[in-house]
Structure formats: C-alpha cells, structure tokens
Amino acid sequence: MGRKRIETVLVTKVTDAQRRRSPDALIVEEPMAIELDGVRVTTTMRTPGHDFELAVGFLHAEGLLGDAPVTEVRYCANGSAVETAFNIVTVSTNGVAPPATARLTATTSSCGLCGSASIEALTERLEPLDPQRVERFDPETLARFPQLATGEQALFASTGAVHAAAAFGVDGSVVCMREDVGRHNAVDKVVGRLRLDGALPASALALYVSGRASFEIVQKAWAAGFGSVVSVSAPTALAVDTARAAGITLVGFVRERQFNVYAPERPSH
C-alpha cells in the first residue's frame, strides 16, 4: 500500500550566521495497532511500509504465534474510518494461535520485569540455540556489515532519522533489509519477512542493527533463531546476559574492520 514515508517541510538553515529557507525531508511516524485473530495486542509508533511484516514479526518475537500458520494479514477490516484503517493490521491464524488470555498476558520488553526475570521468562519458552546448527561468520565478513548495509539504507540517506536492520548471509549478502524510526520495528519487519517466507529459524543468517543492541533486539533475534547479532554501537549489559543465555554470538562497535565480541564469554588464556 503506497503509504507516504517521507514528508517535505520548509526549514530555516543557518550557516555561518547566514539564514535561508530550504526544503527538508522528514521521516513519517504514525501509530499502528496490531491485532491477532481479532484481539488487539499492541500499538507501536512506526514508519509506514512493510506493515504486514512488522505485525507478523512482532507477534513471532513475543511468542504469540507459536507454531500457528499465518493464514491472512490485512489492514483493518472492522469498519474503521478510512484515515485510520491503514494504521491497524490484523493477523489471522484461523484460531490456531494460543488463546486470547495468553496473548494479553504475554511478556514484552515493556512489562516492567527486572533483568533476571526477563531472561527467565524467555528461557521458559525459548531453548538455547544449538551451536552445531548455527552458521559461524568469518570476522572479516562481520566487519563489513555496516559498509554493505549503507548502500541499502535509502530512507536514512534521505532523512538521517531512521534505524536499519538486516539479515545477512554467510557470504555477506543482504537477504533482507528494513528501515524504521524504531530499531525494534526494523528488526520485526525483517523477522516478519523471514517468517512469511518460511525462512525461520534463521540459523544460517546474522542479524545486523544500525544502533545499539538492547535486550529487546537480542530477544527478537533469539526468537527468530539468529546465531549472531551485530551492532554498530554497544550492547546493554542485559543484552549481553541474554545473548549468553541464548548461545548467540553478540558483536558490537563494528566499524573500520574492528569490533568487540561480547558473547559467548571466552576467557583469555
């Protein structure tokens, strides 16, 4: 659906005390509600575009789909006004997904749990990744991710106001790249695309994010089965603990052929 993703506004640009009026491109940010089998699950602020992927990816990451088949994804079909209809996405599983009560009490990154409880909640529904089944990436390939991703970030090039997430193949190929005002939304869009394509678990891929790696990012990567998470900036302490619990290789500060490996923990000798 051709929703507007960029707006142009007139701004005053000041350079060396000189002022001039000039057009500037701004990223669009709008709310989007996600429904599962008719039940409203959440509302998130996002950049319009790839909305179906965002909805499916969020539901998958939160464990709300389980093994249920996604039978239909559509914009609001419940009689909402036209101006809001494209800000409501309904995912259908023909009732195969867990019951509504389970969805409404599902653990999310904003539920207020402490760090250790957050990880414990994840381990109740997610198994640590099998190291024999995840692809290991060459360090030189990992270090090239930011450079390889930059050429795909069209919205960032126009506005400078969005995050990017990408699924990379072991050869450095970009399998899927998405941008959004929310880093977590960009990841959900990637995960949603892979789920809709039947490409999960993503054990042969690495997840790249253009900013820091938070607990939420690692949580989504774990749910999707990524064996590696690579971020341009630093991870949080809870993200490191979560990656170690999951068996995910967590790499941060990737730039100019250098990076830090935060997980798994490898004692020096």
pLDDT score at 82: 55
User: How many whole angstroms separate alpha carbon 45 and alpha carbon 107?
Assistant: 19
State the pLDDT confidence band at 92, using cuts at 50, 70 and 90. Answer: very high
User: How many whole angstroms separate alpha carbon 250 and alpha carbon 235?
Assistant: 8
Residue type, 260: N
Reported as a single tens digit per residue, the pLDDT across 20-62 is: 999 888 888 899 999 999 899 999 999 999 999 999 999 999 9
pTM, two decimals, is 0.88
State the pLDDT confidence band at 105, using cuts at 50, 70 and 90. Answer: very low
Reported as a single tens digit per residue, the pLDDT across 165-209 is: 999 999 999 999 999 999 999 999 999 999 999 999 999 999 999
Taking CA atoms, 132 is separated from 129, 217, 233, 242, 247, in Å, by: 9, 23, 28, 19, 11
User: How many whole angstroms separate alpha carbon 208 and alpha carbon 149?
Assistant: 9
- Name all domains of the chain by residue range, CATH numbers in brackets: 139-263 (3.40.140.10)
* The 3-state secondary structure of 55-113, one letter per residue: HHHHHHHCCCCCCCCCCEEEECCCCCCHHHHCCEEEEECCCCCCCHHHHHCCCCCCCCC
User: How many whole angstroms separate alpha carbon 263 and alpha carbon 11?
Assistant: 44
User: How many whole angstroms separate alpha carbon 71 and alpha carbon 95?
Assistant: 10
User: How many whole angstroms separate alpha carbon 269 and alpha carbon 263?
Assistant: 17
Per the annotation, the verdict on 111 as an active-site residue is: yes
Of residues 76, 111, 114, 176, which has the active-site annotation?
111
Given a cut of 50, whether residue 112 has pLDDT beyond it is: no
User: How many whole angstroms separate alpha carbon 55 and alpha carbon 12?
Assistant: 37
Calculate what percentage of the chain has a pLDDT beyond 90: 62
Given a cut of 80, whether residue 99 has pLDDT beyond it is: no
CA torsion angle 83 85 88 92 (round to 10): -170
